[in-house]
Structure formats: structure tokens, C-alpha cells
Chains A and B, each alone.
Chain A
Amino acid sequence: SYVLTQPPSFSVAPGKTARITCGGNNIGSKSVHWYQQKPGQAPVLVIYYDSDRPSGIPERFSGSNSGNTATLIISRVEAGDEADYYCQVWDRSSDHWVFGGGTKLTVL
């Protein structure tokens, strides 16, 4: 089955840029979605189809996807961005949704 690998944690200072990776075999050939989840809350879609941003999501959130790595980029990080972030793809070979293990973003 298809596996997505994320670093368990990432720390960044306020105002800096956070790049959260999601690794998978030839993930560049798939569409990647990213979710933000704050404690006690439901996930929120922050990036879809690799780099599109839903309405209401700040322009500070962007994404890229190429080769074996997809990346969620958060510019000018704020304290309110502290959350768990999950990547997701549709695996056509198994007709399954696959989530990465999640990355806990800590704002120092």
C-alpha cells in the first residue's frame, strides 16, 4: 500500500518560513491535499491539488509537489499556525485515501 512520510515535528520562530514535507513514491504524479488540525478541533483543508488555496485561507499558505516530495509552505509564521498538519493523496492502485502521519508545528 502507498505510504506517506512526514516528520513528526517541526519548530519555527515567528515571522519565519515553515516548510513541512510529505514524502511518497513518485508523489509528484498525484494530487496532494493538506489539512490543519488544532487541538480539540476538526481538520481544516488549507491546500488542495498541490498548491490551491481554499477561500478564507491566508495567502501565507502555499504548496508544491514534485518528484518524491510534496511541501506545505507557511510564510511569516504566526502563533496561531501552531497545529498538526496532515498530507493526503488518493492512491489509484488501491482505491484508498492515504494520510501522512502528521507533523506537529511548534511556533517558538
Chain B
Amino acid sequence: EVQLLESGGGLVQPGGSLRLSCAASGFTFSSYAMTWVRQAPGKGLEWVSVISGSGDITYYADSVKGRFTISRDNSKNTLYLQMNSLRAEDTAVYYCAKQMTTVTTGGDYWGQGTLVTVSS
């Protein structure tokens, strides 16, 4: 059974940093691209970033490019999102999702999300 468990969310001040993790199990982690999607309170889904199975291909939404870094440790079956220079508008539930195969395919399994609140 595929399982994705996000962690690392919490309250952070504007300008601060946070690192999210997504622990994966139930599939061959290194064979699949992974993505982060966020959802601000009461709003729709917003794609954040995607990374290939090997980690050599990454893409970012314009709203986070230069501030967020996606990475993965295939030996630990874990996906990461390093978030720097956080802003109030980054407040959201952050979901990790397994892609069906490559970075251009959809997300077939999603975690339950971790809440990030950026506030002073």
C-alpha cells in the first residue's frame, strides 16, 4: 500500500525558513517523480514543484522559484521541500504526491498534508 506522510509544518515568521519532509513507502521510490502542491485556507490547489525520480530534473512555480528547493533522498525514501524567505502568502497546507511515472504525469497518490503558517 502506497503511503505518503508529510511532516515539518508549523508556525514561522515572515522571512524565516522551514523544511518539509515526505516519507514514502509501498512503492519503489526512486522510480517515480514526486511533486509538492499547496492549498491556502479556503482556496484551490496550487502546484509548487516537481522532481524526477533520479532527482536530476526539477521545476518550480513562478511564485516560489528562487526561494524554495525541492530535493529527494532515494536511500531514505524521502522527499523534501526547503522553504526560505517565507511570506504570508505561503501559508497553506502542503501536500506531497507521487506522480504516475515522470514529472509530466499526474499525481496518483497524495499525502494528508502538513500546515505551514507564516505569521508574526
Contacts and interface: CB of A to CB of B under 8 A. Distances in A.
Interface of A: 1, 31, 33, 35, 37, 41-45, 48-49, 54, 84, 86, 88, 90, 92, 95-102
B111 interface: yes
B59 interface: yes
Interface size class of B (residues with CB under 8 A): 20 to 34
Given A48-B108, A54-B108, A42 B95 contact: yes
Interface of B: 35, 37, 44-47, 50, 59, 61-62, 95, 97, 100, 104-113
Chain A CB within 10 Å — which of B37, B44, B104 has the most?
A: B44
B50 A97 contact: yes
A86 B45 CA distance: 8
Nearest to A102: B44
A42 B45 contact: no
Nearest to B58: A95
Given A48-B100, A95-B59, A97-B50, A43 B44 contact: no
Contacts of B37: 43, 97, 99
11 contacts: A31-B106, A43-B97, A45-B107, A45-B108, A48-B105, A49-B106, A54-B108, A90-B105, A95-B59, A96-B61, A97-B50
